[in-house]
Amino acid sequence: MNLFDLSGKRALVTGARTGLGQGLALALAAAGADIIALGSRAMPDTEAKVKAMGRSFEEVVYDLTDPSGIGDVVTGLTARGNIDILVNNAGQIRRADFTEFSETDWDDIMNINLKSAFVLSQAVVRHMLEKSIAGRIVNVASLLSFQGGIRVASYTSSKHAIAGLTKLMANELAPKGITVNAIAPGYMETDNTEALRNDPNRSRSILERIPVGRWGEPSDLDTAVLFLTSPASSYVTGQILAVDGGWLAR
């Protein structure tokens, strides 16, 4: 028995153009899922890699700084088939001192990281309930769902809120057969950490605290997302799984 078999499942992954989102989409495709990828720009590299695995690929180009049209997007997608898995990965980060942090940077990041996850989940869950789908929802949280960080007011606030939203959704949806969990990646090699990795002092101080001693890679999340989306994980919900090389343990 293959506990991670997702054959016949259709998975919607946001922020799937590069980095963690692309890695999550490829992990699901490798396990047999067909992929719907939502991002702010075209995703030809993700498309090519998913199709090379023999899975179908649908692309949705949508700017999540304005989530108001997400419901219509989901209506169009569900007209073509069920959505069994939702991975709310899309996220951005902007840095400035707290006293200088702009309202625009607050609003944009909260819309992308939090509001879009709420609106998209709401639309997908309505579909899952209508079709009696034992759905799997995975939100991408962060180490800053547990810690404060510095110079990232909207990012930290959004990721704390994602942790709370995950638990709220899990409580309400578990009786309906839908599980909701989150993955909290550690310091990963992505666009969001490029500034930190390019700063020798910050990079050194970060690596010195990670027991595993390296930056994470997108593939480090593969088994976590497969575990949380598999049909066999029906008794796991409301959890926030840190994949951080031991950062939080130190």
Residues involved in catalysis: 155
* DSSP string over 56-79: -EEEEE--TTSGGGHHHHHHHHHT
d(CA 95, CA 108) in angstroms, rounded, equals: 13
Say if CB 57 and CB 37 are below 8 A apart.
yes
Say if CB 138 and CB 228 are below 8 A apart.
yes
Tokens of 208: 């010195």
Which residue, 136, 170, 146, is CA-closest to 244? 146
C-alpha distances in angstroms, 84 versus 25, 33, 112, 125? 14, 9, 22, 10
d(CA 187, CA 245) in angstroms, rounded, equals: 8
